[in-house]
Each structure stands twice: as structure tokens, then as C-alpha cells.
């Protein structure tokens, strides 16, 4: 009864437009009064809120955000696009493939879907329209491809999941590599079909090895950032928090010394912007910690485990339920709050059914990625709409093939654990 009440209150408060943090706090506090729950002093709400953001490992979040902002400003995005054009531009649908390839590379640097879509879309939507692509499809492709940035490491939603669920961040980053590649290949397949079937982008002159090498050399300093981050974490040389600090130092060096497209005088504004974003994330973490406290004391995870096991002891059914719930939540929530709210509920059930928590984390992240380009709240969808000037609904209609490709990739990742776990087993 309490679980249904919590779900109902949360959905109602979100849909009527109450800010997310207040919606979560109301969802946590109202059951205390409605059901007259004993032993729930309101002082504990404050203490849990503060305690939720106190752990030192959460320092990695603002540091990764700063590093991503550093690499997303200036000419890094243009260099990545030039490299992707040299690698993919000659194929049918090549210009669309450039968007996907550039988004995958950029996502491995910034870890942010929104920064990815903004940086790539500001250049490529206009170029795709000139080539003959329908403008809504071009905007939709930018919105969809940008979300690969939270699947390919470093990924802030995976970082959050790892901290909340006490799951190895290194294993999560390893597990996200192949799924990110699969989503990228699925979107490239759509681009190939569109370019060939419509004739808008039949392909052009092949790139010479010299041109490809020059484009790679220009992009190499930016490409080294994910190598530095992931290599440091995987080898055990640094913790995720230390890797985030290292990324900030390297980002400053690359943008100021190597590329020379960022100046020290711009640093205060960048830090303010980054920490405003970080503050929003941390406040949501505090609020969800309060909700998690209520849920845990009422033993709702155990109740959910029992319900699922009565419904079916099958991993397949449980994973289907995870996908359905996460896709629905993705319609109204961004990845971080969606994972913060659901991970404590899903993890005990998954482990009781023998599902690897790393695999579950990848599935949940992929679901939230799809939610990012799905109306009504899809963040990358709105970024692409603002850049292109097209309506959200017209873009969403043009994205039908991309949605089909994304769901197919999601099912592959969900029901073939080897897609995620092979790299983990190989490297660990």
C-alpha cells in the first residue's frame, strides 16, 4: 500500500510541474504523515539529506563536469567532426554517420549527452540540411546520437549507479564500451538506409590515408583524455575521483597549451557554470537519499523482491519489467534522478535472481539514454530542436527509424549479457 502511495505521489507531483527536488521530498515526507509512521522524526530528513551528499567519492561528479566543459568549449568539437568526416564521410549516409561517429568520440571525452548534442548539432544540422537530409531527421539524429555519451565511458550516470549500488565503477565503464558501440552502429545503419534510399547522401570520394592521418593527429590530444581516465582507473593507478581531478588538469593543459582555444580569463565563468550544474545534481542526490531512507525502513525493496518472485522467478521477465519502468521514467526524468530512485529497488531483486549488478547498471543507463531523446522531457531532443528551429513533435516523428534501432540495441544489450560483460571478464 505504501509503495503504491509513494509511486502515485511522485508521478502526480512530477506531472503537475512541481520541481523535481520538491517532488522527491514530498514523496518521502507525505507517507510519514498519511500513514502515521512511528519513529520517523523530521530531523532525520535533514540529516539524511546532508548525509547523502557528504561521501568524498561524490567529488568526482563536479570534477568530471568541469573536465567535460573544458573539452566541449573551443575548437575540440570541430576537430572531432573533421576526423569523423575523414573516417565516414565517403559512405552512403556518410554525413549522418559523421554525426554518430563524432558523438561517440565526443561522448568519450565529455561524458555529457547535452554537451555532445549541442557541440555536434550546432555544426552538423545545418550541413546535413544542405546535403538534402530532412531537417527534422537531422535534428533527431543529433539528439539520439548525443545520448551515446552517457553509455560510453566516462559516464556520469554510471558513476552515480556505481556509488549508490556499491558497484565497481571500473567494471561499469568497461561494460559500457560495447553497448555504446552497438547503439552507434545501429544509428549508422539508419543513416546508411536513409542516405541510400532517399538519394540525399549517396556517398562521395574516399579519404586518402594521409588525410585521415592528419585529421587524427589534430584530434589526438582530445582523444587522449578518455585513454588517460580509463587507463588510470583500470590499472588501479587512480581512483575514479582522482581520475576526475586528473581529467581537469589534462583538460586545462590540452585546451590552453595544445589547442590554445581557451584562456585563463574564461576559467571563472566555466567553473561557475559547471558548479551550478553540479549543485543541481547534488541536491537531487540529497533528496533521493531521504526517499531511500523511507523506502528502506519500510522494507519496500524486500516487498518488491517477493512480488517479482511470485510473479515470475525468470530473469527475462524481471529485465523486461526493468526496461518498461525505466523507459516510462525516462519520459519525465533525467538519467541521474531516474537511476538514484530505482537502483536501490532493483538491485536486491536482480541479485536474488542471479543478475550481475554491472549488467543491470548498463541496462538502466541505456534505458535512460533512450529517454533523453524521447518526448515530453527529452533533454537532447530540446537541445536539437532549439538549434534546428523545428518543433519537438515533428522531430520525434522523423526519428521513428532511430527509435526502432535504439529499442533493438537495448533488447540486445538486455538479453545478451555477454555484450556488456565480455570486456569486464577479459580485462579484469
DSSP secondary structure of 104-119: HHHHHHH--HHHHHHH
Mean pLDDT of 233-246: 82
DSSP 203-267: --PPPPHHHHHHHHHHHHHHHHHHHHHHHHHHTTSS-HHHHHHHHHHHHHHIIIIIS----GGGH
CB count within 10 Å of CB 8 equals 11
| Nearest Cα to Cα of residue 21 among 53, 57, 44, 43 | 53
Q: What's the DSSP call for residue 150?
A: G
Does 370 have pLDDT greater than 90? yes
- At residue 130, what are phi and psi to the nearest 5 degrees? -65, -35
Q: Give me the pLDDT at residue 304, please.
A: 63
Q: Give me the pLDDT at residue 183, please.
A: 96
Is-contact 66 274, C-beta < 8 A? yes
Domain boundaries, the chain: 1-40, 56-427
Q: What is the residue whose three cell numbers read 521530498? A: 25
Mean pLDDT of 57-85: 77
Q: Give me the pLDDT at residue 364, please.
A: 95
| Nearest Cα to Cα of residue 63 among 336, 248, 204, 208 | 248
Does 205 have pLDDT greater than 70? no
Higher pLDDT, 69 or 361: 361
For the chain, give the number of residues. Answer: 428
Task: Give the model's confidence band at 355: pLDDT under 50 very low, under 70 low, under 90 confident, else very high.
Answer: very high
Q: Give me the pLDDT at residue 312, please.
A: 60
Mean pLDDT of 61-66: 81
Q: Give me the pLDDT at residue 201, please.
A: 75
What are the CA-CA distances from residue 409 to residues 105, 159, 286, 375 (Å)?
A: 19, 22, 33, 19
The interaxial angle of helices 357-372 and 315-330, nearest 10 deg, is 30
Segment 261-319, tens digit of pLDDT = 878 888 888 888 888 878 877 888 888 888 877 777 766 666 666 666 666 667 888 89
Provide the mean pLDDT of the chain: 83
Q: How many Cα atoms are found within 13 Å in the side-chain-facing hemisphere of 391?
A: 3
Amino acid at each position: 500500500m505504501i509503495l503504491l502511495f509513494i509511486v502515485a505521489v511522485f508521478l502526480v507531483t512530477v506531472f503537475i510541474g512541481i520541481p523535481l527536488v520538491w517532488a522527491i521530498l514530498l514523496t518521502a515526507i507525505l507517507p510519514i504523515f498519511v500513514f502515521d509512521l512511528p519513529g520517523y522524526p523530521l530531523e532525520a530528513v535533514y540529516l539524511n539529506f546532508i548525509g547523502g551528499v557528504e561521501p568524498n567519492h561524490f567529488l568526482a561528479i563536479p570534477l568530471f563536469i568541469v573536465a567535460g566543459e573544458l573539452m566541449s568549449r573551443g575548437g575540440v568539437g570541430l576537430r572531432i567532426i573533421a576526423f569523423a568526416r575523414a573516417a565516414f564521410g565517403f559512405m552512403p549516409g556518410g554525413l549522418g554517420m559523421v554525426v554518430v561517429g563524432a558523438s561517440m568520440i565526443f561522448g568519450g571525452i565529455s561524458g555529457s549527452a547535452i554537451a555532445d548534442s549541442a557541440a555536434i548539432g550546432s555544426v552538423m544540422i545545418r550541413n546535413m540540411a544542405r546535403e538534402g537530409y530532412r531537417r527534422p531527421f537531422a535534428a533527431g539524429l543529433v539528439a539520439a546520437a548525443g545520448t551515446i555519451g552517457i553509455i560510453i565511458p566516462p559516464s556520469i550516470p554510471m558513476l552515480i549507479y556505481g556509488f549508490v549500488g556499491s558497484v565497481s565503477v571500473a567494471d561499469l565503464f568497461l561494460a559500457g564500451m560495447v553497448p555504446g558501440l552497438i547503439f552507434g552502429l545501429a544509428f549508422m545503419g539508419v543513416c546508411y538506409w536513409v542516405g541510400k534510399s532517399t538519394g540525399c547522401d549517396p556517398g562521395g570520394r574516399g579519404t586518402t590515408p594521409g588525410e585521415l592521418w592528419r585529421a587524427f593527429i589534430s584530434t589526438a590530444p582530445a582523444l587522449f583524455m578518455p585513454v588517460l581516465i580509463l587507463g588510470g582507473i583500470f590499472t588501479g593507478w587512480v581512483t575514479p575521483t582522482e581520475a576526475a581531478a586528473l581529467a581537469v588538469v589534462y583538460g586545462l593543459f590540452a585546451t590552453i597549451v595544445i589547442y590554445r582555444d581557451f584562456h585563463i580569463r574564461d576559467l571563472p565563468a566555466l567553473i561557475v557554470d559547471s558548479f551550478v550544474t553540479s549543485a543541481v545534481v547534488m541536491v537531487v542526490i540529497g533528496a533521493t537519499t531521504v526517499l531511500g531512507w523511507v523506502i528502506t525502513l519500510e522494507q519496500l525493496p524486500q516487498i518488491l523482491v517477493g512480488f517479482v518472485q511470485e510473479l515470475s522467478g525468470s530473469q527475462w521477465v524481471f529485465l523486461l519489467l526493468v526496461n518498461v519502468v525505466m523507459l516510462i521514467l525516462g519520459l519525465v526524468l533525467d538519467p541521474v534522478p531516474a537511476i538514484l530512485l530505482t537502483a536501490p529497488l532493483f538491485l536486491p531483486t536482480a541479485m536474488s535472481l542471479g543478475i550481475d549488478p554491472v549488467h543491470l547498471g548498463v541496462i538502466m543507463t541505456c534505458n535512460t539514454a533512450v529517454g533523453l531523446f524521447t518526448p515530453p522531457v527529452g533533454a537532447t531532443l530540446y537541445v536539437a530542436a532549439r538549434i534546428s528551429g523545428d518543433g519537438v513533435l515533428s522531430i520525434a516523428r522523423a526519428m521513428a527509424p532511430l527509435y526502432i534501432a535504439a529499442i533493438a540495441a537495448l533488447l540486445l544489450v538486455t538479453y545478451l549479457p555477454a555484450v556488456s560483460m565480455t570486456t569486464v571478464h577479459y580485462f579484469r
